[in-house]
Structure 1
Amino acid sequence: MNQDYIKAHPWSIIEEGFDSEQVESSESLFSLGNGAMGQRANFEEHYSGETFQGSYIAGVYYPDKTRVGWWKNGYPEYFAKVLNAPNWIGIDILVNDVSLDLNTCKKVEHFRRELNMKEGWYKRSFVATLPNDWEVAVDVTRFLSLDLDETGAIQYNLQVLNSDAEVIMVPYLDGGIKNKDTNWDDKFWNITNVTSKGKRAFVESHTMKTNFSVCTFMQSELYIDGAKSDAEPTTKKDDTSVGHSYIIELSKDETLTLIKFGGYTVDRNHPKDRLLQAANTVLDEAIQLGFDALLQKQKDAWAKIWEMSDITIEGDVEAQQGIRFNIFQLNQTYLGKDSRLNIGPKGFTGEKYGGSTYWDTEAYCLPFYMATKNQEVAWNLLKYRYNHLEKAIENAEKLGFSNGAALYPMVTMNGEECHNEWEITFEEIHRNGAIAFAIYNYHRFTGDYSYIPKMGLEVLIGIARFWHQRVNFSEEKQQYVMLGVTGPNEYENNVNNNWYTNYLAKWCIEYALEQLKVVQESYPEDYKRIIQKTDLAQLETEDWAKVAGNMYFPYSEKHDVFLQQDGFLDKKMVKVQDLDKSERPINQKWSWDRILRSPYIKQADVLQGFYFFEDHFSQEELERHFDFYEPFTVHESSLSPCVHSIQAAKLGRMEQAYTFYLRTSRLDLDDYNKEVKEGLHITSMAGTWMSIVEGFGGMRVLDGQLYFAPKIPDQWQSYSFKINFRNQIITVHISADGNSFEITGNEPLTIQVNEKPVKLIPGETVKA
């Protein structure tokens, strides 16, 4: 049974009625972010119940020392943790000396919260009866500004309903926080200064080990029935926190409003010795604008984002809510402004996975950002990996590779591997292929080749060198084999000849060789620079070609399919549909030993290869492999349903494609994996976008041309989306009655729809 308390709405996430069992889940679902920082939807007022406090700053992390029982050569020294940052949202409230705490209130009525995705704000309201029988009505609006991205704003309205009362409001900053997922209970932050000046307060701190300097700041103003209060606060301060205490004699039904601005200035963006000055400047801007004007700017900024990235669905509110939630959270997490940043699997919504970068970015997120932003955003994602090339070479050296071979990390903050599960750190090497594929995918989609001679070819050379060194030549098979790997299916560890990994290795080498020729012929100066820098010789590339041309791929003649790895058919081949439901999910019900000996697949593995390289295989081959592997797939990875939805749609199995789509789009909203309280699945959300655009819309780029093969689920009346293809905006509208296309710009464009050419002319709607 999935959770069902989130109300269906096309533009908002809505919860009605207070349930303490749902607090931590809702803290994830109602999270806010603006690309520079983010926070879980913790209550502003004190809450003594179960809660997962979380405020996070992009790019600020701590190297939590690896905790393992047995150290292995090459092991990462640390696991990078996105840090729970000093809390700026807090507002303690007392009514006649009794704390407002929803966990201890006698009654909580009319509780409602809404995350308005269209306009980018979060609102919460309720009526509560305190233990002393005073009734209060509260209405709070909060947002993290996209325009002033170091700033967030809170408008906290409170009324006393039964009689006059003394109300104490204490907006505060708290630097005395910890991560929930610390290995050793380390002290992550060192507080260096806590200051208060007038209605402003500051906590200056730096992270231990990584030494990021941060100034957390706030300023508050009080209003009674809209009129500014002249009440002056008293300051409460200790070594890690500072608060401003206002005492107000509030008449019955008067509205007491606290406007609070807060946020962070960070030495990633300002000189270390000027963070306090920068904080004052940010507060000056916020105060000058005021809450209402800043909120209007927020609405305008989100309107601009939605103008390009929205997907509309008619006839299915849950599906509509799901895709918008996914698009909203992706934009809250990453906006492409800063090439030093990337997309963590939990974004700003939790601490699991350390907030670091995985191969998810290249495999799943890049297509979304390429198609819904300008080209520069996708370029920044690729530049991130080029900037880390030297670290990738160091990572490979630690494992015994040489000569500039590069192994990109499974998990990273700064290019250094910081994942501490051996079967993934050492063996899930297919992530290298996703980096190379992203370079190919960027050129294929944008038509911009310039990244490859400037940066990308060096990355491809390092990756090709790695694959060349990673294979063994099998005397028995007289082919090159890949031993001791973990494929995308993490329910199989330390296997030999994972088909997907072998196929990627072959493709990466061949692609690197192709690009060497192109750059040599068309960019001779870049070629000369790169050859000198990498010391690449012809004999080396000839050896690469031998490996790529003689790679071994496990195959079953009986089933006429590539095998996921050697020995896959030695397992007891019981299909998922024949498992007792009480044994699902197997990752929570089975021992790891039992999982590893089973045929069950966590996510697309062979089928991931068929997704990346679908033009290498026929429709019949896809169907055969889909029919063989999907019945053994338990879809216990957030990245699984989207790939299967795309392939089911390609095969014309729309009911199955729709089921997978609904699962990927509502994975968190419906908490399929019973873990949403730990944070949202941000990177898989890009797969949700792909399942509509590439799955149902059938969008592909082949030979520089845009192709569509539109299909529509029976549950929908219509759907539409936009694509920024080579700086031209194409609007696609698909319905059961027919399809239409429009183009914005000055130039006509010929596309293919169901393998027929269609010429799009600006200002005209073309039916096809």
Structure 2
Amino acid sequence: MKNYIKADEWNIIEEGFDPHLNKISESIFSLGNGRMGQRANFEETYTGETLLGNYVAGVYYPDKTRVGWWKNGYPEYFAKVLNAANWVGIGVKIDDEVLDLATAAVSDFKRVLNMHEGYLERTFTAKLKSGKTVKVKATRFCSIADDEVGAIRYSITPLNFEGTLTLTPFIDGDVKNQDSNYDEKFWDQVTDQISGAEAYIQLRTKKTEFEVCTGSHIQVYQNGQPLAIDTTEVRKEKFVGQTFAVAVKTNEEVTLIKIAANLSSENYPKDALLKETQSVIASAVAKGFDTLLQEQAAAWATKWEESDIVIEGDVAAQQAIRFNIFQLFQTYTGKDDRLNIGPKGFTGEKYGGSTYWDTEAYCVPFYLATAPQEVSKNLLVYRHKQLDKAIENAAKLGFKDGAALYPMVTMNGEECHNEWEITFEEIHRNGAIAFAIYNYIRYTGDESYLADYGLEVLISIARFWKQRVNWSNEKQQYVMLGVTGPNEYENNVNNNWYTNLLATWCMKYATEAAEIVQKQQPEKYNSLVKSLSFDQKEFADWADIIEKMYYPEDKAQGIFLQQDGYLDKEQILVKDLPASERPINQKWSWDRILRSCFIKQADVLQGLYFFEEDYDLETIRRNFDFYEPRTVHESSLSPCVHSILAAKLNDEARAYEFYLRTARLDLDDYNNDTEDGLHITSMAGTWMSVVEGFAGMRVRNGKLQFNPFLPGKWKSFSFTIGFRGATLKINIAENGINIKNNSTVGLEIGIRNQFYQLDGNAEIEVNNAALV
């Protein structure tokens, strides 16, 4: 665990430059706006260890897979979000010396991510080998007010010399992904243009033929006054820029303003990309850097008004929750139903930037409560649009009659993951997609979604589960063989409890959804049944499986078994593992992991989290007390589920322990893996730990309910949520809970086991004595 980020309520602060931490910081200080993003790479040359990363949403490449043994059904490619043209680059030379923090003596280094206003600022002093010393201040942001625009203000001041400063702002498209399977570069150049202060380059991806045009405009000031410059064009392979020299004196500041734009053929005709990019640049330049930054601050103020969590009395916890919320909104804004949320967002290449089940299980609840309804709806529509591909994916594996298996990893709906235990076996992802539909409707009350989109998906998923189970003559029950549950430290197991549970729940919910649509919109229902060639007998088949499904359990201990044979493993607790052997995924062989009882992440407990209403408190407690001590939490998705369940069990100590672990996972580099990108999807779990955990928020029978407690280190915490047209501010303090309705919509609110009418623009306050 690292501990070098300074505690601050609204800022992420790094003081002092340590090259060994640079790649971690590049992840932590990443910027994005839902349409594009970048790691916190330096503008100037850096020859030290770095992971360059600039990304454009929706643009990917089908990198040919590398597997030792090919199996029928393997995808031929792994889709990857591409490292796109580097628009932040500014080469700096002081006389004949290149400014490079890998070779200079660096002092007064400070990097600040201002989350309140949405920008990154970096300052440092660098002494070159010649002894010449400069002071640099760089500010940049990716605008969420105009999500095609990014801007940089780069100021450099000589401290002890007079000489020539040469600046070379550039756009470099000659880049590649660090995780390229064959060291292939994925871009070809279409065209470029350099004209005075402007430079443009248009690139095309191989195979997929996406095109992206990146442009920039530069302005130069000396001591705050505009400076006329004589630029020389710089043009190399997939590289454009300008270079110019400025005579400088001691303490005279030179500032370069670089305003850039990224436009994609996903949103514009390819033959119009250059012209459209020029138009976007012209508009941004007309506003100027300061106005663009003011618009950025105003847009972020609106985001924070809708989503902020305020924690009083614990700066580290406050900083962490805001960091997680900030990165979630930098990654996904919900404007485009073709886009989704990669586990690393725009902060790194791991997991390919593709869509996983993380979105449905962890991100949907966050966006439901903190953003307009359309945002979470678009996440669901994304999957509906890919239903035909999900049916194709299932057909490749031998399923038929409209059965759908959504991919474990995808960009366009096709499965593109090529580890057999993931591609073929980790089929619980299907259930997460169905549960997201249920969760969306439970929260919003928007049952029309079923007729428009949801029922078609639910029926197709239910058809898959019906074909995936088989009848066991020995057990006289239905079983499910050869699966991998959420705990990926177990492969090819029989009767994973969580997967079996999800299967029957999906069939049950598909049946209920069909009844709702048939009753509310019979014409749509009849049309859908016809288009799906749906036979009413399918309901009876599902009902038979629901009734006769086998669930492994140990009745003596009163626990659900993760899968058949789990108790045959040597039962060792995590606390008895030597620290030198952790994390086991970095220290043990895969064979040893598979034979151990250790659990990567919530598995049985994931099911109890989803369906807690179906189990009494003691059942949840027995399973929690059995499985948590065997869980190594080596998935970023694990601690939040444990935090929420611990809170439900009134285990405040463990609830808070797991909250801190999930909240500061990246800031403190808990799992020693932040350098390859942040854990964006698990950040939504941090929000869930506070709102569903400490505040105990649930939706039951269409009503909001709270079962709050205050962590011992906190004086209070508060948050804002939107619910069915109402905007609520909830404050939980030592004396009780206060809920203020900042809308005209009245609603009934449950607090513990009591219900209260909360009228529009009113508030209720319930003290702890009344909560007993």
Residue 371 (structure 1) shift: 0.3
- Tell me the residue number matched to 1:144: 142
For the pair 1:719 / 2:717, whether they are aligned, the reply is yes
Q: Partners of 1:99 and 1:689 in 2: how far apart?
A: 44
Q: Aligned to 1:404, what secondary structure does the other structure show?
A: coil
Q: Aligned to 1:349, what secondary structure does the other structure show?
A: coil
Q: What's the Cα RMSD here?
A: 0.7
Residue 762 (structure 1) shift: 3.0
Deviations 1:182-233 (A, max 9, x none): 1011220001222201211111110000100111111101000111101121
Q: Aligned to 2:549, what secondary structure does the other structure show?
A: coil
Amino acid at match of 1:471: V
- Tell me the residue number matched to 2:601: 603
Which segments of 5 or more consecutive residues in structure 1 lack a partner in the other structure?
none
Amino acid at match of 1:448: D
For the pair 1:755 / 2:750, whether they are aligned, the reply is no
Q: Aligned to 2:272, what secondary structure does the other structure show?
A: helix
Q: Aligned to 2:124, what secondary structure does the other structure show?
A: strand
Q: 1:616 aligns with which of 607, 614, 617?
A: 614
Runs (4 or more) in structure 1 with deviation over 6 Å come to none
For the pair 1:738 / 2:736, whether they are aligned, the reply is yes
- Tell me the residue number matched to 1:429: 427
User: What fraction of aligned residue pairs are identical, expressed as a percent?
Assistant: 59
Contact 2:192 2:200 in 1 (8 A): yes
Amino acid at match of 1:304: T
Residue 29 (structure 1) shift: 0.3
Q: Partners of 1:674 and 1:712 in 2: how far apart?
A: 30
Q: Aligned to 1:631, what secondary structure does the other structure show?
A: helix
For the pair 1:35 / 2:30, whether they are aligned, the reply is no
- Tell me the residue number matched to 1:558: 556
- Tell me the residue number matched to 2:565: 567
Amino acid at match of 1:10: E
Contact 2:324 2:663 in 1 (8 A): yes
Residue 761 (structure 1) shift: 2.5
- Tell me the residue number matched to 2:770: none
Contact 1:352 1:678 in 2 (8 A): yes
Alignment of 1:75-224 (within 5 A): 75-105=74-104, 107-224=105-222
Deviations 1:347-403 (A, max 9, x none): 000000000000000000000000001111111011000000000000000000000
Contact 1:312 1:320 in 2 (8 A): yes
Contact 2:742 2:762 in 1 (8 A): no
Q: Partners of 1:219 and 1:529 in 2: how far apart?
A: 54
Contact 1:734 1:740 in 2 (8 A): yes
- Tell me the residue number matched to 1:475: 473
- Tell me the residue number matched to 2:251: 253
Q: Aligned to 1:353, what secondary structure does the other structure show?
A: helix
Q: Partners of 1:234 and 1:486 in 2: how far apart?
A: 59
Q: Aligned to 1:156, what secondary structure does the other structure show?
A: strand
Q: Partners of 1:435 and 1:135 in 2: how far apart?
A: 56
For the pair 1:517 / 2:499, whether they are aligned, the reply is no
Q: Partners of 2:713 and 2:613 in 1: how far apart?
A: 30
Residue 263 (structure 1) shift: 2.5
Contact 2:261 2:280 in 1 (8 A): no
Q: 1:457 aligns with which of 455, 459, 472?
A: 455
Deviations 1:550-587 (A, max 9, x none): 10001112211110000000000011111111111111
Q: Aligned to 1:86, what secondary structure does the other structure show?
A: coil
Deviations 1:715-767 (A, max 9, x none): 10000001100010111000112211100211322100011012213333321
Q: Partners of 2:282 and 2:14 in 1: how far apart?
A: 35
Q: Aligned to 1:626, what secondary structure does the other structure show?
A: helix
Q: Partners of 2:189 and 2:177 in 1: how far apart?
A: 16
Q: Partners of 1:118 and 1:523 in 2: how far apart?
A: 46
Q: 1:533 aligns with which of 522, 531, 534?
A: 531
Amino acid at match of 1:168: T
Residue 22 (structure 1) shift: 1.0
Deviations 1:588-627 (A, max 9, x none): 1111001001111110000000000000100111011101
Q: Partners of 2:46 and 2:185 in 1: how far apart?
A: 24
- Tell me the residue number matched to 1:49: 48
Q: Partners of 2:761 and 2:515 in 1: how far apart?
A: 41
- Tell me the residue number matched to 2:687: 689
Amino acid at match of 2:412: N
Q: Aligned to 1:674, what secondary structure does the other structure show?
A: coil
Q: Aligned to 1:395, what secondary structure does the other structure show?
A: helix
- Tell me the residue number matched to 2:628: 630
For the pair 1:702 / 2:700, whether they are aligned, the reply is yes
Q: Partners of 1:648 and 1:704 in 2: how far apart?
A: 25
Amino acid at match of 2:62: P
Contact 2:725 2:745 in 1 (8 A): no
Deviations 1:47-106 (A, max 9, x none): 01011000000000000011101111111111011100011110000001100001111x
For the pair 1:326 / 2:319, whether they are aligned, the reply is no
- Tell me the residue number matched to 1:64: 63
Amino acid at match of 1:286: A
Contact 2:390 2:406 in 1 (8 A): yes
Contact 2:427 2:484 in 1 (8 A): yes
Q: Partners of 1:70 and 1:765 in 2: how far apart?
A: 63
TM-score by length of 1: 0.99
Which segments of 5 or more consecutive residues in structure 2 lack a partner in the other structure?
767-772
Q: Partners of 2:180 and 2:412 in 1: how far apart?
A: 19
Amino acid at match of 1:473: W
Q: Partners of 1:522 and 1:761 in 2: how far apart?
A: 29
Residue 298 (structure 1) shift: 0.3
For the pair 1:9 / 2:14, whether they are aligned, the reply is no
Q: Partners of 2:721 and 2:121 in 1: how far apart?
A: 32
For this pair of structures, how many residues does the alignment match? 766
